Amino acid sequence: MQYLAARQDLTHGLLTLYNKDNSNDMKSYMILGLGILGLSACQTTSDSAQGGFINGLNAINSGAYEKQSENLGKQTAAERSRQADLRQDLRILKAEYASLQRLIRTQSSNLSMNNSALPLGMGERVNSALIAIEPSGEVSTQLNELRRSIAAARALVAELANLS
């Protein structure tokens, strides 16, 4: 009997101790649970460029960061290739314009050797076509300027050929 009484006292004491500590622990668990619930309600995205640490971790874990990095690399390579193509086109157009300038010089000097006078205003057009142009700005802008200059030079070459 004594054993049972001692055991009941010990059990009662432990339960009392557990209940006292449990109330504080329970509050802590409730606060922790509410905090986790609050954070889980936050919207996460796989875009590593949007919002904070948790989204960054989510993007890394889901592989979205690597995919985004790979896509940016592909876009950069495509843009570099496009710019290289535009620069190549620019070199070709500059060479064509230089060729037209040489042809204009030749036709102009042939006309002056034949003592043929240039019509009014054509001398200014010849001089402006012979001025070396260095387009500035973006490559696409330079290409457009050169195309206009080439069209004007071709028209001038045709007019000069008719005068010969």
For the stretch 107-152, pLDDT in tens is 988 888 888 777 888 888 888 888 877 778 888 888 999 999 999 9
Q: pLDDT tens across 42-100, in order?
A: 555 555 566 666 666 676 777 777 788 888 899 999 999 999 999 999 999 999 999 99
CB atoms near residue 104 (< 10 Å):
20
Q: Is residue 145 part of a domain?
A: yes
In a domain, 79, yes or no: yes
**Does the pLDDT value for residue 160 go beyond 70?**
yes
SS3 164: coil
In this structure, are residues 153 and 100 in contact, taking their beta carbons and an 8 Å threshold? yes
pLDDT of residue 48: 56
Which residues touch 115 (CB under 8 Å, ≥6 apart)?
Answer: none
Q: State the CB neighbour count (10 A cutoff) for residue 131.
A: 8
Give the pLDDT of residue 106.
92
Number of domains in the chain: 1
Domain that holds residue 112: 46-163
Task: Please tell me whether the overall predicted TM-score, pTM, comes out greater than 0.75 for this model.
Answer: no
Residue 10 lies in a domain: no
Does residue 28 lie within any of the structural domains?
A: no
Q: Measuring CA to CA, which residue among 86, 151, 99 is closest to residue 130?
A: 99
Within-domain flag for 34: no
Q: CA nearest 161: which of 120, 122, 107, 110?
A: 107
Residue 13 belongs to a domain? no
Q: Is residue 132 part of a domain?
A: yes
